[in-house]
Amino acid sequence: TGIQYTSKSAAYRRRKLILDVCRGKTEGVTIEDFQTAMKKTRTQYLIVNPAQADPSFLKVAGCRLVSETAGYCIYSYGITKEG
């Protein structure tokens, strides 16, 4: 892919930040850093375990709950709801 995933690469740090938030590890993570990581990685959906994730953090960060299925919650980010 041309991306080196080391702990020093920006690509790795962005993806780790998103995964940390999905696992409920939001301490020290700002909304702005999370939003930047989501935009830079072009992440549009997150599938999270509701027992781990912090839904209030995700909501404030701009994620929208799309569905709940099989013990997981699906959130969208940066996608407007078509009406």
- Report DSSP letters for 28-44, one per residue: T--HHHHHHHHHHTT--
Instruction: Provide the mean pLDDT of the chain.
Output: 89
| Distance in angstroms (rounded) separating the CA atoms of residues 70 and 38 | 24
What is the edge-to-edge ordering of all strands in the sheet holding 72-77?
A: 45-48, 72-77, 63-69
Q: Residues 27, 34: contact at Cβ < 8 Å?
A: no
Q: Residues 55, 61: contact at Cβ < 8 Å?
A: no
For the stretch 14-35, pLDDT in tens is 999 999 999 999 999 999 999 9
For the stretch 32-60, pLDDT in tens is 999 999 999 999 999 999 999 999 999 99
pLDDT given at position 23: 95
Residue 4 predicted with pLDDT over 70 = no
